[in-house]
């Protein structure tokens, strides 16, 4: 039977220390090899917390599945902040629609959205709760602009 270890690790900077080492050590796998594989897979997500699932089938057989960071972490990276406002009414940053589309593209497989347009609206919703405007507009106005087709050239 396979053992599954799910952890959040810093992209490109996983180590054999907690949380990976203590979870993988008792399973008998080479922790250094697993860490190396995780760091290779998460190198482009440097500085973000990345969900990782390690499925250990035997001492020599394991599989590493890397998820995508939370939408909020991707938004913060795009806007260049460490954290959102914590109050949707306190504006702390602004994203362009190009940046929204970039985040939506990364998160698309994990969102419930069928189209890029609806994925972008989900990302805009996340921005709104963090005090981040889109193209200078608050969340509802930005989502209405998407519905009206203002950004269709980016969302098709």
In terms of domains, do 34 and 76 share one? no
pLDDT of 41 strictly over 80? yes
In terms of domains, do 97 and 38 share one? no
When divided into structural domains, the chain yields a total of 2
> Is residue 155 domain-resident?
no
Domain boundary among 27, 43, 66: 66
The 3-state DSSP class for residue 15 equals coil
pLDDT of 1 strictly over 80? no
What pLDDT is recorded for position 45? 84
In terms of domains, do 77 and 129 share one? yes
pLDDT of 112 strictly over 80? yes
**Model-level pTM?**
0.76
What pLDDT is recorded for position 147? 96
Tokens coding 138: 């608050």
Which of the two residues, 23 and 87, has the higher pLDDT score? 23
What pLDDT is recorded for position 95? 97
- Work out the mean pLDDT of the chain and round it to a whole number: 92
Q: What's the rounded Cα separation, in Å, for the pair 70 and 136? A: 23
DSSP string, 50-101: EEEEEEESSSS-EEEEE----HHHHHHHHHT-SS--SSTTS--EEE-HHHHH
Q: What's the rounded Cα separation, in Å, for the pair 90 and 72? A: 16
**Section 89-97 average pLDDT:** 94
Residue 11 sits in a domain of what CATH number? 3.30.1550.10
In terms of domains, do 85 and 134 share one? yes
The 10s digit of each residue's pLDDT in 48-78 is: 889 999 999 998 899 999 998 889 999 999 9
pLDDT of 156 strictly over 90? no
The 10s digit of each residue's pLDDT in 15-26 is: 999 999 999 999
What pLDDT is recorded for position 56? 94
């Amino acid at each position: 039977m396979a053992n599954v270890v799910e952890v959040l690790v810093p992209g490109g900077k996983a180590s054999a220390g907690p949380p990976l080492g203590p979870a993988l050590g008792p399973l008998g796998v080479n922790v250094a090899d697993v860490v190396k594989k995780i760091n290779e897979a998460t190198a482009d997500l440097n500085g973000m917390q990345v969900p990782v699932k390690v499925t250990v089938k035997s001492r020599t057989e394991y599989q590493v599945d890397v998820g995508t960071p939370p939408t909020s972490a991707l938004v913060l990276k795009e806007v260049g902040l460490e954290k959102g406002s914590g109050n949707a009414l306190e504006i702390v940053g602004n994203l362009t629609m190009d940046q929204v589309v970039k985040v939506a593209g990364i998160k698309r497989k994990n969102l419930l959205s069928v189209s890029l347009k609806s994925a972008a609206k989900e990302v805009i919703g996340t921005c709104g709760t963090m005090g981040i405007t889109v193209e200078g507009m608050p969340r509802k106005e930005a989502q209405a602009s998407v519905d009206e087709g203002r950004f269709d050239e980016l969302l098709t």
